[in-house]
Chains A and B, each alone.
Chain A
């Protein structure tokens, strides 16, 4: 059982990937990028801390296929995102880089910014520790949980390549 706990940052509906990973900082160093991740919430850009979590409305991560969107949130140290719904490519990307994303209708109502959230990943049980309430999200599939447990789809690939002993297909990874 995996427990993820953290202080909530709240966002509304239709927050797109462009504001999580703006095109104008694609080639910029991380120090510059981190200041504009989710720039639509100035307090978040200044005060978000590793271990915090995000509660969002509908269609979180709509827009482009840029993997930097969930990757930037992970780099900032966000523990998970619980949203009413997700953009599908964002959702896939977050599984691929092992940032838990949980669909949870009603979650916007269930949290205020600053509340303490606790997520039981496998069952998708979401608790508001501050209010003492609970709400249930949609559990991820076994495959998705497996990828997240391995640390993402690349570690999963590494394992497959090793198991399959693909000969010249893959040479051992340089350490």
Chain B
């Protein structure tokens, strides 16, 4: 019987020839990711007297949620993390000189197609863009994994989204994933694995795939896979350590794998999409939400802070000005992206248009710091969540859109269709 990508990963990880959806297994973990949550993981391990972790070479830790430390309390958290990293001789340590965790995992060579990667962050589904089984867990479970190297898992059923058609200009992969959340609800993949497939995605950049895998968790998914194809290999190989290169290969489901449900979507006439407050599933085509005044436009996050996102924003903002009553804040997702955008003049264009460029990190995405919203304020954001109170005041509102929509709205001072601002 053919297997889905999730079944392949979990059968290998649990040492079985075959597994069935719904079954419980104990899976050996291939790679681990933790950010500021590691402070709590470390505190637990210390309290339990754990002197050594299961495998320091398979653990990656970085600081991204609150960098540089915005308060003394956070500085203490970072200090504790650095202590833990030293104590356990963690090999994949990046401090705050790397960027947002999910971007860094690929860029620093920690992701291998077909492997099981658990992170203390819900958007660990992002690794599915490389054909890896990425999933989020909490801090207690992570403490268990760091000590034992394994964890119980339920084999998920798999659903498939087949995407066809050429995306219209200035309509992005973010619009596809928002459209799915709106049409099929944020529960469509509850307890399930997703496989994204189809000609549109074969042509799509790795960055655009990451946006969709990232938001797989907003559909309730455990894993959100793309096939690992030639593009994946070309992207990953320069980053992966010499001794791990032989593990990097194509990875996909068997042709006769079983799917619980298959959805087909033609995106050739897709409009830009916007998720309105306060739920990711409250999605409207942009023509229905235009003219909402925005106080802030936020370009960044692990969803849409990549080079192509900054590039399209710069193309839209070139020679224009951010609206006088709107502030545009930009967070490149990593140092590598930051440097590239700097060298190619993208940052210059954005600054000239009136953007404030901040250092790579999560910034205001989860209401931490650097651009929080006051009561009554409205933000158009390229990030992934618009929950009440997510980006500051519980009386503020967050709308989610693509980087193109964010850039065009920053100029207009209100939500507008990025295709209209084209000359």
Report which A residues bind B (CB closer than 8 A).
14, 16, 18-19, 22-24, 27, 39-40, 58-59, 62-67, 85, 87-89, 92-93, 96-97, 141, 143-144, 152-154, 156-158, 160-161, 168-174
Report which B residues bind A (CB closer than 8 A).
24, 37, 40, 44, 47-52, 71, 73-74, 119-122, 124, 135-141, 143-144, 147-148, 152, 154, 186-187, 190-191, 217, 220, 222, 279, 281, 366-368, 385, 387-390, 392, 394
Please list the 5 inter-chain residue pairs (A to B) with the smallest Cβ-Cβ separation, ordered nearest first: A67-B138, A23-B367, A93-B138, A65-B136, A65-B122
**With A85-B190, A88-B190 given, is the CB distance from A22 to B389 under 8 Å?**
yes
B50, A169: Cβ atoms closer than 8 Å:
yes
**Chain B nearest CB: distance from A19 CB in Å?**
7
**Chain A nearest CB: distance from B79 CB in Å?**
14
What would 4 more interface pairs be, CB under 8 Å, given A63-B122, A141-B152, A143-B24?
Answer: A22-B367, A39-B394, A58-B187, A65-B120
Cβ 8 A contact of B47, one of A85, A92, A96, A173: A173
CA distance A153 to B138 in the complex (A): 11
Cβ 8 A contact of A170, one of B50, B120, B390, B394: B50
Residue of A nearest to B366 (CB): A23
For A171, what are the chain B residues with a Cβ–Cβ distance below 8 Å? 49, 51
For B394, what are the chain A residues with a Cβ–Cβ distance below 8 Å? 22, 39
Cβ 8 A contact of B190, one of A59, A160, A169: A59
**Chain A nearest CB: distance from B394 CB in Å?**
7
A154, B44: Cβ atoms closer than 8 Å:
yes
Task: Give 27 CB contacts A-B under 8 Å.
Answer: A14-B187, A16-B387, A18-B387, A18-B388, A22-B394, A23-B389, A24-B392, A27-B71, A27-B74, A39-B389, A59-B186, A59-B190, A65-B124, A65-B136, A89-B136, A89-B137, A93-B138, A143-B24, A154-B140, A157-B48, A161-B48, A161-B147, A168-B51, A170-B147, A171-B51, A172-B49, A174-B49
For A152, what are the chain B residues with a Cβ–Cβ distance below 8 Å? 140
Residue of A nearest to B222 (CB): A88
Residue of A nearest to B47 (CB): A173
A62, B186: Cβ atoms closer than 8 Å:
yes
For B52, what are the chain A residues with a Cβ–Cβ distance below 8 Å? 168-169
A14, B48: Cβ atoms closer than 8 Å:
no
CA distance A16 to B48 in the complex (A): 31
For B40, what are the chain A residues with a Cβ–Cβ distance below 8 Å? 67
For B367, what are the chain A residues with a Cβ–Cβ distance below 8 Å? 22-24
**With A23-B367, A39-B394 given, is the CB distance from A96 to B138 under 8 Å?**
yes
CA distance A161 to B50 in the complex (A): 9
B389, A65: Cβ atoms closer than 8 Å:
no
A89, B122: Cβ atoms closer than 8 Å:
yes
**Chain A nearest CB: distance from B354 CB in Å?**
28
Residue of A nearest to B221 (CB): A88
A87, B49: Cβ atoms closer than 8 Å:
no
B191, A88: Cβ atoms closer than 8 Å:
yes
Cβ 8 A contact of A141, one of B24, B50, B186, B220: B24
For A143, what are the chain B residues with a Cβ–Cβ distance below 8 Å? 24, 152
CA distance A153 to B45 in the complex (A): 12
A157, B143: Cβ atoms closer than 8 Å:
yes
CA distance A27 to B367 in the complex (A): 13
B49, A92: Cβ atoms closer than 8 Å:
no
Residue of A nearest to B365 (CB): A23
Residue of A nearest to B122 (CB): A65
A97, B366: Cβ atoms closer than 8 Å:
no
CA distance A153 to B142 in the complex (A): 10
Residue of B nearest to A164 (CB): B148
Interface centre among A19, A22, A27, A65 (most CB of B within 10 A): A65
Residue of B nearest to A24 (CB): B367
Interface centre among A64, A156, A158, A161 (most CB of B within 10 A): A64
**Chain B nearest CB: distance from A169 CB in Å?**
5
**With A18-B389, A154-B143 given, is the CB distance from A64 to B366 under 8 Å?**
yes
CA distance A65 to B143 in the complex (A): 14
A97, B140: Cβ atoms closer than 8 Å:
yes
For B143, what are the chain A residues with a Cβ–Cβ distance below 8 Å? 153-154, 157
For B71, what are the chain A residues with a Cβ–Cβ distance below 8 Å? 27
Cβ 8 A contact of A173, one of B49, B154, B385: B49
For A93, what are the chain B residues with a Cβ–Cβ distance below 8 Å? 137-138, 140-141
